[in-house]
């Protein structure tokens, strides 16, 4: 599993991030505090507090995943 902190601080970044996650054949979750949502769900992502970084958990060991989301990693 790959875990990273990402910042999605505007609607364009949320749209792009969800589009990237939707292409993945494995599960990807976003967590903030006690909340965990599907990163492929626009409604789920928008329900989180995006004023601060959130944690992305991807069920993969492919390091290329980190390259794809490097613009969001904090």
Ordered by where they begin, the domains of the chain are 2-68 (3.30.1340.10)
Q: Which two tokens stand for residue 43?
A: 């409604």
pLDDT at 56: 98
| pLDDT per residue rounded down to tens, the chain (74 residues) | 999 999 999 999 999 999 999 999 999 999 999 999 999 999 999 999 999 999 999 999 999 999 999 999 99
pTM for this predicted structure: 0.92
Residues 6+ apart with CB under 8 A from 46: 14
pLDDT at 53: 97
pLDDT at 45: 97
């Amino acid at each position: 599993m790959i875990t990273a902190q990402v910042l999605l601080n505007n609607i364009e970044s949320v749209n792009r991030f969800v589009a990237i996650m939707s292409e993945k054949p494995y599960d990807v979750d976003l967590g903030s505090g006690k909340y965990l949502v599907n990163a492929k769900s626009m409604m789920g992502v928008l329900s989180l507090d995006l004023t601060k970084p959130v944690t992305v958990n991807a069920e993969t060991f492919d390091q290329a995943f980190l390259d794809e989301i490097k613009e969001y990693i904090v």
